[in-house]
């Protein structure tokens, strides 16, 4: 998996004047969900040998940075926990599911606590050299998808308003 | 003789498979073995000099770039092309400054490329490999490029679409018509991207919404305080 790509939708939601700058808090995963995922003979790992929960944090961090809303000193911080992560890869079709519970806190006060979930479906192939990259793209795209969902969530926007 | 033939067959198959895997990872012409030749469709080409729309007062802009393969985000391809895309937008002269982080006026240019691969192309490529190139074929990749310009001062988003096409010739087959041969896959994809950006930015510059944005009073950055 490669570095998180820019998301126009997420940046547009995050860069409004009403949003406070935010810090990235702790990102974790339910037991077993941070382990590399095997697809046929290949192993899909998070970039840089990190964990999938760290990749989720990196994806959110990148969109906040591009929106000019990343501030490690901000009292508003976002934490996350991977609660579902799966790739089902067959000869003809593949699908993946990713869900994360996000929490926004301002100091000790919890402002937001909600799970975002996304699915991807793709046409697979008998040929591993085609099927494995397709599975990796389908799965890795979900990290951006749930960050876009989070950024677009009116509850999140209210919670992170200045 | 039989052993030598098997060795040649194994070498051709291995070379094709390795190239296929590399191309598939980057998702540029995912069916491309080492012996492939790449052709760029002539329909789009470069913007003719007399069709270029000048920008009188270039403004700063934040540039976002993403790449997808068959609608699925392809972060590896985006990383591979990002610096090239930034260089092309900077060289266009249509913006005063091109930055990755928020610009001083809050304007955003989003370039999203979607590579639509030909269905069944992988099977065609393997057939060519297994016949030592005798059963040649040409497969086509489409590139849909979307340009969103979100101006400063809250003006509506201006969107343009550009379509381009890359042909990959495998084995013994006539070259595609109305197409120019590229030196290699890297040259091919960068030509596709360069010509697409050339047209996309020209179309944006010709849009009244773009001109209004350029004339608007720069607003403070929407970034962090």
3-state SS, chain B, equals CHHHHHHHHHHHHHHHHHHHHHHHHHCCCCCCCCCCEEEEECCCCCCCHHHCCCCCCCEEEEEEEEEEECCEECHHHHHHHHHHHHHHHHHCCCEEEEECCCCCCCCEEEEEEEEECCCCHHHHHHHHHHCCCCCCEEEEEEEEEEEEEECHHHCCCEEEEEEEEEEEEECCCCCCCCEEECCCHHHHHHHHHHHHHHHHHHHHHHCHHHHHHHHCCCCCCCCCC
Give A160→chain B minimum CA distance, Å.
13
Give A88→chain B minimum CA distance, Å.
16
CA torsion through residues A17, A20, A23, A25, sign: negative
Q: How far apart are CA A28 and CA A98, in angstroms?
A: 14
A67-100 pLDDT tens trace: 999 999 999 999 999 999 999 988 788 999 999 9
Q: State whether ipTM is beyond 0.95.
A: no
Residue showing tokens 């040409």: B138
CB of A41 within 8 Å of any CB in chain B?
Answer: no
Residues A17, B222: C-beta atoms closer than 8 Å: yes
Q: What is the pTM of this model?
A: 0.82
B173-205 pLDDT tens trace: 788 889 999 998 899 999 999 999 999 999 999
Q: Which of B30, B72, B221 sits opposite A122 (nearest CB)?
A: B72
Burial class (CB in 10 A: 0-12, 13-18, 19+), B144: middle
Give A49→chain B minimum CA distance, Å.
16
Report the candidate in A125, A109, A116 with the shortest Cα–Cα distance to residue A159. A109
> What pLDDT sits at residue B197?
97
CB of A152 within 8 Å of any CB in chain B?
Answer: no
CB contacts of B75 in chain A (<8 Å) are 1-5, 140
Residue A49 reports pLDDT greater than 80: no
Per-residue pLDDT band for A8 (boundaries 50, 70, 90) equals very high
A11-39 pLDDT tens trace: 999 998 888 999 999 999 999 999 999 88
Give A6→chain B minimum CA distance, Å.
6
Flag the least confident range among A111-120, A135-144, B119-128, B138-147.
Answer: B119-128
CB contacts of B110 in chain A (<8 Å) are 6, 8
DSSP, collapsed to helix, strand or coil, labels residue A56 as helix
């Amino acid at each position: 998996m490669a570095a998180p790509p820019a998301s126009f939708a997420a940046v547009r939601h995050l860069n409004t004047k009403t949003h406070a700058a935010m810090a990235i808090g702790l990102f974790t995963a339910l037991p077993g969900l941070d382990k590399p995922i095997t697809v046929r003979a290949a192993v899909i790992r998070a970039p840089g040998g990190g964990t999938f929960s760290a990749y989720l944090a990196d994806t959110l961090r990148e969109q906040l940075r591009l929106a000019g809303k990343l501030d490690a000193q901000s009292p508003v911080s976002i934490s996350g926990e991977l609660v579902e992560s799966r790739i089902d890869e067959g000869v003809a079709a593949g699908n993946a599911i990713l869900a994360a519970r996000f929490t926004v806190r301002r100091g000790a006060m919890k402002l937001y606590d909600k799970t975002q979930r996304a699915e991807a479906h793709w046409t697979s192939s008998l040929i591993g050299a085609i099927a494995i990259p397709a599975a990796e793209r389908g799965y890795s795209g979900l990290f951006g998808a749930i960050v876009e969902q989070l950024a677009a969530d009116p509850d999140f926007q209210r919670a992170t308003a200045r | 003789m039989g052993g030598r033939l098997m060795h040649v067959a194994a070498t051709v198959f291995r070379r094709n498979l390795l190239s296929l895997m590399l191309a598939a990872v980057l998702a540029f012409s995912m069916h491309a073995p080492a012996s492939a030749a790449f052709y760029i469709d002539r329909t789009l080409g470069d913007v003719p000099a007399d069709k270029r729309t000048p920008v009188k007062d270039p403004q700063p802009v934040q540039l976002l770039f993403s790449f997808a393969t068959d609608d699925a985000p392809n972060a590896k391809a985006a990383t591979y092309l990002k610096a090239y895309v930034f260089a092309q937008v900077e060289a266009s002269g249509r913006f005063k400054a091109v930055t990755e982080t928020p610009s001083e006026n809050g304007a955003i240019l989003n370039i999203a490329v979607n590579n639509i691969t030909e269905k069944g192309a992988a099977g065609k490529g393997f057939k060519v490999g297994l016949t030592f190139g005798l059963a040649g074929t040409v497969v086509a990749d489409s590139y849909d490029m979307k340009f969103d310009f979100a101006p400063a001062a809250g003006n509506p988003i201006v969107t343009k679409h550009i379509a381009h096409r890359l042909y990959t010739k495998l084995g013994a087959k006539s070259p595609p018509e109305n197409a120019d041969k590229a030196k290699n896959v890297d040259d091919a994809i960068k030509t596709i991207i360069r010509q697409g950006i050339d047209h996309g930015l020209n179309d944006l510059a010709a849009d009244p919404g773009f001109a209004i944005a350029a004339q608007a009073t720069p607003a403070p950055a929407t970034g962090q305080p």
